[in-house]
Structure 1
Amino acid sequence: MTIDVDAVGRTAGPAQISWNATDAILYALGVGAGQDDPAAELELTTENTESLAQQILPTYAIVLSQKAGLRAGYGDVDTSKIVHAQQSLTLHQPLPVEGSVLLTQRITGIHDKGSGALVTTDTEGVDEKSGDLLFTASGSAFIRGEGGFGGDRGPSSSWNAPARKPDHVVKTATRPDQTLLYRLSGDRNPLHSDPAFAARGGFDRPILHGLCTYGSTARVLLRALGAAPDRLASITGRFTRPVMPGETLTVSIWSEGDTHYFRTTDSEGNVLLDRGMATLREGDAV
């Protein structure tokens, strides 16, 4: 099994994918909405609550390409060796509760990290009716054992959390069966459900989806900042450690002007999602 280092620039799509209010609710439940208090996030978990208009967590945009099965190929690699490394999302306009987009993905880089290869991709979602660009999702995947081919190591980040106490520290629990609920939004990778497949990847049991931790963090961050979901303009974070279902997440947030830095840790203080940054657009509070 070998990675195709000549795949940079390769594209997939366009692929059409639609979603509705029920999909939005299922995703919100999958990233823990209403789990701590069923009455606290009804704008995300119901469509018919009096005086509340339904809203969608904008990080749902990232899973649309998985739901559509969109994947620009980069060789014959063992999928049990692939872990999500980093994810960014830019919302060019608010994501609607229901909609349809045309998705196009492009491989933007394949970097040699020694112990593995880092593949970066950009996925654009264009509103099918208006033709407007809705979002750009930029992600990277680390494939263990595929490094050492002599390629460039890629750019590095100089991110540092502000040297002071966080402005907000919020805990949120995950369920022991969180992966089984989250996978219904589109990511059916057996690494998160099949014990035998997880063992092939070196894990003693299925791990939580990185994008579940990502979506849970975004949800907590928006509530801590008192921001409605449609105000999220961008968010980025780097995955640093696998998360086991049932773990309690702690999200620490530092606000510096228009940028909100964040980091997510587990119950032992291990960093799970690092180098986090989010920006908001002007708008109303929750």
Structure 2
Amino acid sequence: MPIDAALALSAEPRSGEITWTAKDVQLYHLGIGAGVPATDPDELRYTLESRLHVLPSFATVAGAGSPGVISGLSMPGVDVDLAKVLHGGQSLTIHRPIPVAGTATASGRVAGVYDKGTAAILVMRTEVTDADGPLWTNDAQIFVRGEGGWGGDRGPSTRLDPPTGEPDRTVERHVREDQALLYRLSGDYNPLHADPEFAKLAGFDKPILHGLCTYGMTLKAVVDTLLGGDVTRVRAYRTRFAGVVYPGETLRIRMWCGEGAEGPVVRVEVGAVERGGAPVLADTVVQHS
């Protein structure tokens, strides 16, 4: 069997130094659609080095994601076909505001292996620390088709009851035709997002947008719309990738304000306008101050 759960979970973490600069932050922000309109003062917070703030979802690509998801798929006990891999969900905890430039140590390991019957779920955890202490913790839930059925732990449910009532805010964000090509320059070179032939092998008519690009676009919409543009208010952010996005489509982002066990939260649902609101992100929560 390509996945040996016991071996994967017991493997030593892989650690390495990561660095990032203001240029990396700017490129990431452009990759998730920042800078429109280009001279808008609110957008310049994401694009101009003299005013730069770091959107917390940058943590998913900082240091080109090393050690990242693709690296994690070569951990001991894990041997899978990349064409069968989909990003199932992502959760991020921010311990301190991310500096515009930095050097840190990233430690990655397999934190969970779950048997969903027709598929396996791998939880790839990356913990990042700099000289001043913990910065962030990333968990990527990786869905591997055809690798379940060994009778293992099914894992915890991440499903939430749908938000009730009308959303407090609804915004739409257009995805550029070249959005995936720009976003991949931040480090995720999976050909699924650029190569039409590879996309067909994976079962798609054409390349799809990175789930983490949609993830970043959504967090930016929440920060800009409900948090006064203050990126430092974000404490944690998690989502389940419920469907694909194709470059050129429009995201409809609906937001509900509320209270959670650990303080204020925004519940979010995202759909693709051109496909009748087909779900894209679900079970999405932004915890904030």
2:161 counterpart SS class = coil
1:80-159 to structure 2, matched below 5 A, reads: 80-127=83-130, 129-130=131-132, 132-159=133-160
Structure 2 Cα separation of the partners of residues 57 and 9 of structure 1: 33
User: TM-score normalised to the size of structure 2?
Assistant: 0.91
Contact 1:161 1:261 in 2 (8 A): no
Q: Could you tell me how far 1:5 is from its partner in structure 2? A: 2.0
After superposition, the C-alpha distances for 1:146-168 in whole angstroms (9 at most, x for unaligned) are 11111121111351233110001
Pick from 263, 267, 270 the counterpart of residue 278 of structure 2: 270
In the other structure, the counterpart of 1:4 is 4
Q: Could you tell me how far 1:264 is from its partner in structure 2? A: 0.8
Distance 1:205 1:158, change over 3 A: closer
Structure 2 Cα separation of the partners of residues 202 and 161 of structure 1: 29
User: TM-score normalised to the size of structure 1?
Assistant: 0.92
RMSD: 1.5
Across the two proteins, how many residue pairs are aligned to each other?
A: 274
Q: Could you tell me how far 1:42 is from its partner in structure 2? A: 0.8
Q: Could you tell me how far 1:55 is from its partner in structure 2? A: 0.7
Residue 260 (structure 1) aligned with residue 258 (structure 2): no
Structure 1 Cα separation of the partners of residues 67 and 258 of structure 2: 38
1:204-215 to structure 2, matched below 5 A, reads: 204-215=205-216
Letter of the 2:180 counterpart: T
In the other structure, the counterpart of 1:39 is 39
In the other structure, the counterpart of 2:78 is 75
In the other structure, the counterpart of 1:250 is 252
Contact 2:257 2:267 in 1 (8 A): yes
In the other structure, the counterpart of 1:62 is 60
Q: Which structure is higher in helix share?
A: 2
Letter of the 2:3 counterpart: I
Structure 1 Cα separation of the partners of residues 15 and 38 of structure 2: 38
1:75 counterpart SS class = coil
2:24 counterpart SS class = helix
After superposition, the C-alpha distances for 1:93-129 in whole angstroms (9 at most, x for unaligned) are 11111111100012111111111100012210001x3
Distance 1:125 1:274, change over 3 A: same
Instruction: Could you tell me which runs of 5 or more consecutive residues in structure 2 were left unpaired when the two chains were aligned.
Output: none
